[in-house]
Structures are given as structure tokens and as C-alpha cells.
Structure 1
Amino acid sequence: MSKGTLIALGGGDDDGLIKLIRSEICSIHSHIEVIATATTAVEESGNAYKEAFEELGCSSVRFMHIDEDNKADTAEYIQRIQKAEVIFFTGGDQRRLAQFLDNTKLLEIMRERFQNEDIIIAGTSAGAAVMSDRMIYDGYGHYSLIKGEMKTTYGFGFINNVYIDTHFVERGRFGRLAHAVAHDPEYCGIGLSEETGIIIKNGDQVEVFGPGVVTILDGSSIQFSNVREAEENEPIAVERLVMHLLVEGYRYCLKEHLFQPIGAEQIAEARKDSANVA
């Protein structure tokens, strides 16, 4: 069970995400590191997010310029990541994040600290999609339900057995997430609408923030799928793929495959007490 908190936004306007991160940290002096490697405009994006945090009163915000010309594993960056209390990944292309951060000491330290310390790992769009041990990077519209059109690769591994997809409703990504979960039914699919996101604590409890809907695709009840046997360019078939729609005030427990209102334990306890009194 990880001690860190994961915060992921589906893209779009991220003012709410920045404010949420600010509300989750105790001190305005908390060390925040912005990583804008997902975009080719690294310096511009990094500085923009640095300013956004500073406008909310955060006094210790820096960004790491990691790209084709700037390596991740510098002595300075390693020292800074060891002190960071918030690590924020911007949007762009998640494959760039993997390209420049996979197999680095910097990412290894992030993973270790996330497992053992009370830190926040946050991201939007590509910065959210890369958070699990595997990520989707291809598949468009109805074509994504054709064998070979949906593609996945390794992610950063802050959480395992989850696919996080972003811009989910706006870009018609249901098909590719369904395909991914059908291929790997031990994985839970989480589709994030724009301006809407999730907070995951203890590596298990998925809670929603923002005005939209989070789609959960649960493959644990799948009884049949032709995904592995189908030939390339053939459509896929799946039986009993379960879907849940979450909004603010509800959560999904990954280990128990359980959908519930937040505060459900208290409601259940109150009902139990009432029954005992009766």
C-alpha cells in the first residue's frame, strides 16, 4: 500500500486542479517540482505552471527542464526530487515523458518516495495518463475496437493494474479503454472527462473532483473475450465488461471492485445502530 497521494485530471481547464493541490498541502513553503517534458515547449509550459502555483501563494516552486538537450539524472535534479513534496506533470504527449524519464534514477526516486512517504504526485492529460504501470497511447474512435488499432506501453508505475485515459468523453475514447481492459482484465480502466479528475489514496480508493464524470471499466467479471485470438484488423468481442459512472461524492475501491457513496461506512454503521435499537 502506497503512502503517497495520486491526483490526475482529464485535461482541459486545470485551475481547479492547481487549487486542489494547494488545498492538499499544509504549508505554502512546500517544495513543488513541475515537470513539463510532455510538451515540446518545456520552458514556456514549466514557467506558466510555476506562476500558477505562485499566484496561490506557494513560495517554493521550480520546474525541471528535461528534454532532448537536458538530462533527467543531474545531481541538482536528484537532490531537488528528494526534497519535493509535490511533483506535477503537465500535459502534452505521454510518450515524451516515457522517452526522457524511463529507466532514470530520478523516476526511481519518485516511485520509492511515493510508496514510502506522504507526497503528492499530480498530473493533467498526458501527465495523468503516464501514472500507472501501463498506459494507452493510440486508438481513435470506432477504429480502436479493431484488433491492432489500440496500443499500450509501459508507464511510470506509481500505481499498478490501472489504465488511466484522459479527454475521455470529449475525444471518444471509450473504445480504446474497453479494448485495453478486455486485453488485460486484471486492469481497471479509468476514463477522465476534461476538467474532471481523481484522487487516489492508499493505492486503492478512487474519489472524483470536478464537474464531470469519471468512467470506470471493470474487467474482473469478463467471461469471454476474443481479443487475444482475433486476427489483426478484426473487431473485438467482450462479454460482461462492467461499467460504472462516478461523479463527486462517490468513489470506487479498486481492490474490492466496489462502487459506493463517500461516507458509506458511516451510513452503514448508523443503519446497524438503528437496527440494534429497534
Structure 2
Amino acid sequence: MFQAAVHLVARALLAIALLTSQSLGASEAPQPKGSLVIIGGALRSDNAAVWERMVQLAGGKGARIAVFASASANPDKAGKALVERFNHYGAKAFFVPVATHLAGTDYQAAADDPALAASVRSASGAFFAGGDQGRITRALRRADGSNTRMLDALWEMYRRGGLIAGTSAGAAIMSSTMFGHPKTVLATLKLGLDDGKEITPGLGFIGEDVFIDQHLLVRGRFARMVPAMLKKGYKIGLGVDENTAIVVGPNREVEVIGYRGALLVDLSKAVAQYGPLHVSNVRLSYLDNGDRFSLASQSFTPSPDKAENRIDPAKPYYREPLFSADILGNSTVVDLMARLIDSDQPEAIGLSFDSAHGIQPDLGFEFKLTRTGESVGYMSALTEQYSVYKLRLDIRPIVVQRPLYQYRQADTVAASASDASRADAAR
């Protein structure tokens, strides 16, 4: 009887231990001691600021960096080129042959190979190339969704203090949700997103609370971040432009380095309506090269060349109405934000609509940017580039009158004459 009781107690204690372990979950695992370098794509080989920072964060000269070209259509070629580029900047990089498109290999066996996993676990950094982000998650997760040995090794290296970096597709995997194969930006605003196909699980290195997107300004993707974040419940999103990186340290401070910058999308106070995208009170910020943002305190720090050059609302540079007929154009939204923060205008309007042959051609969208009491801007004394924090953004669907009629001078003259006649009659 006594032995049976002891056995029952032992089983109960084991069950409690297992339940406690499961309740902690990945979200309550120890905060990683490593850093992330998240690149918006199209990283040039001569962008020394980004390459050198990756090598530095991986331990400096001689750092062992594992190169994953899993997203590439030609992993062998892309992997070798990246190894050569990292070594040019002082690392000792090596190619990891885990890729769905790597000829002559079994990617599933490679991802669970103990020796390969050990080589990555003992490295001080890992880099993910661009391509198709779905190939990365397919290569590093088993069919049942569990982690392969290789993915566990990456997490162990990152938690220990190593670097996880990636460009384009390698940036998309950094959040727990990523875009898979979505529609165009405008079609996404009209029709929404299919969870499980257009948005899919990422690897989540940045945590559960931040959404990541890439190629942001060049492709006007800031707008598609909003419906994705609303659908999955994100409050904060970071979109990174091409040839640019955000560095995220273990203290959760974000620094922008590279050619352009990143957009911070804040939905913490946003209100959305059902149907085509209709959302108000979004906060939109543009972080330029050298700027910092704390994910912990939600505070901004401008780059040193801007810190003493805060925009004075009483001395605006721009003094005309601000409008764009194509808010999704290359860098248009940032240009409009910069002009608004240094303007005598309270708001700026941008439109987006499709051709007559597009999806729902009569449906377009108005994007209204507004300065608020929280809005602040800085301009670099060296480059005249702006940083813009906390503009309000409202997006609403609008009707685009079809067909679009040609402007005729005669109509204007006739309308003016009619107005004059009515004025005379009123006298």
C-alpha cells in the first residue's frame, strides 16, 4: 500500500511539472541575449555599414556565421556568394545545405542531421538569404509544425547571444506571422487576407508582439501591413526599406542603418470597421538612418545629426496644400510625411485607385495624414533627410467615378459664365 501511494504521488508530481512546463510556453522563455539584423531586401554588396554590423554582432573578425540560402531558387549559387561576401568583411562564414531546392539533397534529413545542427549551434551568427520565405519555414519545420533539430539549434544560438540576420524573405520570417503569397497591395485593401495562405506562421525571432514586412517603401507595402496586423491582433509593425536594416538588440532597442529607413505602424489606438479597409487613428512614424526606437518604452531617439534640429511648427518650410494621387508609389508616403511635418498645413491627402480593368475598379482609398499634439519631426543638418514621429493616419474607402472624363476648357468657361449670370441676377 505504501509503495503504491508513493508511486501515485510521484506520478502526480510529474504531471504537475509537465503542466507547469507547458504553461510557460515559448512566449515566457528567457529573453534572448542575441541580436537581430532585419534587412528590407536588395542589400548591396558595398553597403559596408550593414555587413560590418552583422560581423560585429556575431563576434567580430573571424566570427563563424551560418549562411542559409533556403529561400533561394538556386541555393548553392546564392549560398556561395553570401559566404564569399561575409568573408570579405572578415567573417568565417559557412554554407548550411538545408533547402527545398538544393539539388541532390534531402532537406528534411539535413534539417534533422545532428552534426549539421551542432555546427550551427556552435556558430555565433546565422544569415537567411532572400527569395521565397515559405521555403525557409518548410525547410526548418517538420510537416506536423514542430521544430527540426536545425531550428532548435538556431534558437539556442540566438538565446545564448548569437546573431540572427536576414534579407527580404529572411526578414519576413522574423515575426511570428509573415506574408505568404498575398494579392497586390490595393487588392489586399479591398478584399482582405486569407489566413493560412496569404499570411502564414513565421519563425518569430523578434517575438510575438511585432509584425515585420520588407521592400516597404519601394513597393508601397506599408498599406498592406495594416490589414495583416488587424487580422492577427498586432499593435506594432516595422516595415523596412531596401538596402536598409533595423538592428534589434537584446534590450529591445531598434536602430536603423543603411540607405533609407523604416516605417513604424502603431495600431494601439486604432479603430477599424468591417469591409474594405476602413481604419482611423493609426499612428505612423518614419525612422531614418541612425534613429532609434525602444520597443520596451515606446520612445524615439533621433540620430545625432538630427538631435539638435527639431522642426519648429512656427517656422514651416512648405506652404501649399499637400496631395498625392498615388500614395502607394515608391517612397511617396514618406515624402508626404516629411512635407507635412514641416508645413503650415494641418493634413496631407493621398489616394490610391486601380485601372478600369482591375478588381472592383470603382473602389479606391483615401489616406489622410494629420499632425497632432504628439507629432514631431527632425531634419538632418547634413543630408536634409527627415525623421517623422507619430502622425495620425486615417484610411477610408472611396468611390472612384467611372469612366474618368476628359477635362474640357469649354466646360469651365461655360460654368464660369453661368456662375456670373446667377450672380448678376442675385443683385
- How does the TM-score come out when normalised to structure 1? 0.85
| Secondary structure of 1:181 counterpart | helix
Alpha-carbon distance between aligned partners in 2 of 1:207 and 1:42, rounded to the nearest angstrom: 30
From the superposition, tell whether residues 244 and 73 of structure 1 become closer, same or farther in structure 2 (CA, over 3 Å). Answer: same
Q: Which structure 2 residue ranges, 5 or more long, are not aligned?
A: 1-30, 101-105, 142-146, 309-427
Establish whether residue 217 from structure 1 lines up as the match of residue 265 from structure 2: yes
Partner of 2:284: 243
The 3 A distance-change label for structure 1 pair 9 and 215 is same
Aligned partner (choices 137, 156, 179) of residue 112 of structure 1: 156
Change (3 A) 1:174 1:21: same
The 3-state SS of whatever aligns with 2:95 is strand
Which residue type is aligned with residue 247 of structure 1?
D
Spell out the pairing of 1:183-194 with structure 2 (5 A cutoff).
Answer: 183-194=231-242
SS at match of 1:146: helix
**CA 1:203 to 1:97, structure 2 compared with 1: closer, same or farther past 3 Å?**
farther
1: distance between equivalents of 2:151 and 2:58?
A: 22
Deviation at 1:185, TM superposition (A): 4.2
Please state how far the C-alpha of 1:213 moved relative to its aligned partner: 2.0
Which residue does 2:97 correspond to in 1? 65
Shift of 1:201: 0.6
SS of the aligned residue for 1:170 comes to coil
Measure the CA separation in 1 of the matches of 2:130 and 2:251.
23
How many percent of aligned residue pairs carry the same amino acid? 31
**In structure 1, distance between residues paired with 2:210 and 2:243:** 20
**2:55 corresponds to 1:7:** no
The alpha carbon displacement at 1:186 in A equals 3.4
Q: 1:98 aligns with which of 123, 137, 147?
A: 137
1:205 matches 2:253: yes
Higher relative contact order (CA 8 A, sep 6+): 1
- Partner of residue 49 from structure 1, selected from 82, 106, 109: 82
- Local SS of the residue matching 2:259: coil
Corresponding position: 1:257 with 2:289: no
Do 2:177 and 2:202's aligned partners in 1 also have CA atoms closer than 8 Å? yes
Give secondary structure in 1 for the equivalent of 2:127. Answer: strand
Cα 1:65–1:187 change in 2 (3 A) is farther
Amino acid at match of 2:53: L
The 8 Å contact of residues 182 and 241 in structure 1, kept in 2 or not, is answered as: no
- Alignment partners' CA distance in 1, 2:190 and 2:294: 30
The Cα offsets for residues 219-242 of structure 1, whole Å up to 9 and x where unpaired, read as: 1112x212xxx3xxx412112111
Task: From the superposition, tell whether residues 255 and 147 of structure 1 become closer, same or farther in structure 2 (CA, over 3 Å).
Answer: farther
Report deviation, 1:112.
Answer: 3.1
Aligned match of 1:75? 114
Summarize deviations over 1:108-135 as a string: whole Å, max 9, x none.
Answer: 22223323x1111011100011012111
Greater Cα offset, 89-98 or 178-187: 178-187
The answer to whether the Cα contact below 8 Å between 1:185 and 1:220 also exists between their aligned partners in 2 is no
Match of 1:125 among 156, 168, 181: 168
Matching residue of 1:157: 204
Q: Report the alpha carbon displacement of residue 47 of structure 1 after superposing the two structures with TM.
A: 0.3
CA distance in 2, matches of 1:167, 1:4: 24
RMSD: 2.1
Q: Indicate conservation of the 8 Å contact 2:57/2:162, yes or no.
A: no
Question: Distance in 1 between the 2:68 and 2:34 partners?
Answer: 18
* Structure 2 CA distance for partners of 1:74 and 1:187, relative to 1, 3 Å: farther
Give the distance between the partners of 1:25 and 1:64, measured in 2 at CA.
17
Which AA in structure 2 matches 1:98?
T
| Cα separation, 2, equivalents of 1:8 and 1:191 | 10
- Structure 2 letter corresponding to 1:65: P
Q: 1:254 to 1:57 in 2, by over 3 A?
A: closer
Match of 1:146 among 181, 190, 206: 190
1:190-223 Cα deviation digits (max 9, x unpaired):
111111110001252111001202000011112x
Aligned-partner Cα distance in 2 for 1:119–1:90: 17
Name the structure 1 match of 2:366. none
Give 1:255 shift: 2.8
- Secondary structure at 1:240 match in 2: strand
Structure 2 vs 1, CA of residues 114 and 24 (structure 1 numbering), >3 Å: closer, same or farther? closer
- In the alignment, the residues of structure 1 paired with residue 231 and residue 297 of structure 2 have an alpha-carbon distance, to the nearest angstrom, of 21
Query: Residue 127 of structure 2: which of 88, 100, 108 is its match?
Result: 88
